[in-house]
Structure 1
Amino acid sequence: MAQPYSGDTWKEVNKKSKGSVSLAYVQTPSFVYVDDAGKLTGICVDIMSDFVTWLKETKKVELTTKFVGDGSNFHGMYDNVKASKGGVFGLGNITITDERKKEVKFSQPFITNFAILITQGKVSTLNKLEDMPKNFAGLTAYAAKGTLNEKRILDLKSRYYPDMKIVNTTTSQETLEKLFADPKGFAYLDLAFYLEAVKMKKSIKRHPIADKAAEQFGFIMPMGSDWASVLDEFLKANGGYTNTAQYKNILVKHLGEAGMKLMQSASKQ
């Protein structure tokens, strides 16, 4: 059952020059995660923090933010934002799709994502998707229910590997953990999860033939929200937020130099 959140509308905040909004989130490596000090941080958190600063400087508005929900799974966060009213934002690895645009409001995209097909290191590299039944024989696919990566796995099954065995998980983090535990597992995961595995020095292999780099992430808001226009104004200001040095620094901070370069190569494709 969805649990709606609430926050002040932009109209109210603009009128009173102050107000507060709720930030729902799904924990995702690099995007929204808990740092060593136990504090929520990440690309999305830093961008929202810059948005609050920009509102103060350009609109003379004091905005306070509070995190809501437990961040445990994508579906919960998405459904709760969808059911909310007023100043509520959803943060995480949220792909902009036409289907979702009918249910929630999206901001301008703030990053282009790579979805990567990964296995443990000992699985032989896939050179052609048609070779899946042979190369991945006896392997099990893991996919978080309701995500775009589950759709990708189902697409591979229908097009190349009809006998594929699929096990559903509740979160992408759980998918990653299953992959670590199962030498015969494979999954589609967002770039950030792959970078996390590399950072943890896990025996993991990327199969570049299956890379998907066309999708973009955005922040979400309830359908009735009046915040989309002002958030987009911020993201478009000064030649575009994603072209600023500040934004680049955020990517390096949370993705590392190599991760930032991969992400930027994705956006050029």
Structure 2
Amino acid sequence: MKFNFFKSLSIFLILLTVASFNSFSQTTSFSKAKQTKTATLKYIYLDTPGFIEKGPGGMNGLCYDIIKDFEKWVKSKYGITINGNWALARNNSFPAFMQTVKSAPDGTVGVANITITPERKREYTFSSPFINNISILVTHNSVGTLKSPSNIRNAFKNMTAVTVKGSTNEKYLRQIKSKYFPGMKIEYLTSNMDVSKKVSTDPRYFSVLDFTYYLSSLKDYRTIKRQPVMDETNEYFGFIMPKGSGWGPVFSQFLSDQYLNGGQYRSILAKHLGPNALKLLDAVQNP
């Protein structure tokens, strides 16, 4: 009798889990949402400081607040009520995140600081950019300030670059190597946080970081230094969706200049990334 009870309980729990998974995994295309006036969107995210993360009070970050503004806008513009389900990418892994979004049904949105590139646009649908990235060359603060990019070859001749393999930051370092510093040595670490720690604690290393990681590192390591002459601003972050998603144009319509230049957006930017982020973005955009 005891065996049958536990067997029945196990079957019930399995069915409950499957039912919950199926309910969570169902998403709604925009074309269907226009008919039913309701939609379920699944937001796949990567923990990204300042951008999106789950804390004791729930989801938080710049991207989360933008998504909430988007949901309110969709309700006002199209009369569609959005029910959002949030899920951390498997193992908080970038490759797993990208693969999950790529193979997901319409109504899935990838949320993180994802760089929009021509290569990725061939395989995914992106929203319009919600922020421009600044790639920042960083060193220990005991290293002198570069006066021009052409000086890097001599000024950093006894130093080694460190980065994450396959990242856009590695790509920028290789561009610097090709153009200004043919003898540059490059070593690899597993994460940007490891990179920022290495540079902040050892004057023999330098790197390139996205401005969000630079600002985060500035809080943790006062010894990290920006080399402004090497700032690169030709990258943009957007929300990423499966190729052909009908929600892509809707996100792009929402992320208009009117929204991105408005007080609401700037207030959440300062809230999550800090006033230094606003100053940095304004300085680069309006030199």
Question: TM-score, normalized by length of structure 2?
Answer: 0.82
Q: Which moved more, 1:138-147 or 1:226-235?
A: 138-147
> How much has 1:79 moved relative to structure 2?
3.0
The structure whose Rg is larger is 2
Correspondence for 2:180: 160
The aligned length equals: 262
Equivalent residue of 2:161, what SS?
strand
Within 2, Cα distance between the matches of 1:92 and 1:9? 21
Correspondence for 2:275: 257
Equivalent residue of 1:30, what SS?
coil
Correspondence for 1:248: 266
Correspondence for 1:196: 216
> How much has 1:70 moved relative to structure 2?
4.6
Residue in structure 1 matching 2:86, options 67, 74, 96 = 67
8 Å contact from structure 1 (residues 10, 87) kept in 2: yes
Correspondence for 2:163: 143
Cα deviation 1:173-228 (Å, max 9, x = unaligned) = 33223333433221111111111122235201111111012322211111121111
Equivalent residue of 2:114, what SS?
coil
| Structure 2 residue 225 is the aligned partner of structure 1 residue 205 | yes
Cα deviation 1:38-58 (Å, max 9, x = unaligned) = 633211111011111122223
Equivalent residue of 2:116, what SS?
coil
- Superposed counterparts of 1:1-269, under 5 Å: 7-35=27-55, 37=56, 39-68=58-87, 69-70=89-90, 72-236=92-256, 240-268=258-286
Within 1, Cα distance between the matches of 2:164 and 2:273? 22
Q: Which moved more, 1:13-22 or 1:246-255?
A: 13-22
CA distance 1:129–1:165, shift in 2 (3 Å): same
Which has more helix, going by share of residues?
2
Within 1, Cα distance between the matches of 2:199 and 2:78? 47
CA distance 1:126–1:79, shift in 2 (3 Å): farther
- Structure 1 segments of 4 or more deviating over 4 A? none
Q: Which moved more, 1:101-110 or 1:77-86?
A: 77-86
Within 2, Cα distance between the matches of 1:25 and 1:209? 33
Structure 1: where are the runs of 5+ without partners?
none
> How much has 1:34 moved relative to structure 2?
4.3
Within 2, Cα distance between the matches of 1:103 and 1:111? 21
Equivalent residue of 1:40, what SS?
strand
Q: Residue type of the partner of 1:261?
A: K
Equivalent residue of 1:195, what SS?
helix
Within 1, Cα distance between the matches of 2:204 and 2:226? 14
Within 2, Cα distance between the matches of 1:261 and 1:82? 35
Within 1, Cα distance between the matches of 2:84 and 2:195? 30
CA distance 1:184–1:39, shift in 2 (3 Å): farther
CA distance 1:193–1:124, shift in 2 (3 Å): same
Within 1, Cα distance between the matches of 2:184 and 2:92? 28
Cα deviation 1:1-60 (Å, max 9, x = unaligned) = xxxx7632112222222221121223322222344x363321111101111112222322
> How much has 1:258 moved relative to structure 2?
2.4
CA distance 1:253–1:70, shift in 2 (3 Å): farther
Within 2, Cα distance between the matches of 1:95 and 1:31? 13
CA distance 1:223–1:33, shift in 2 (3 Å): same
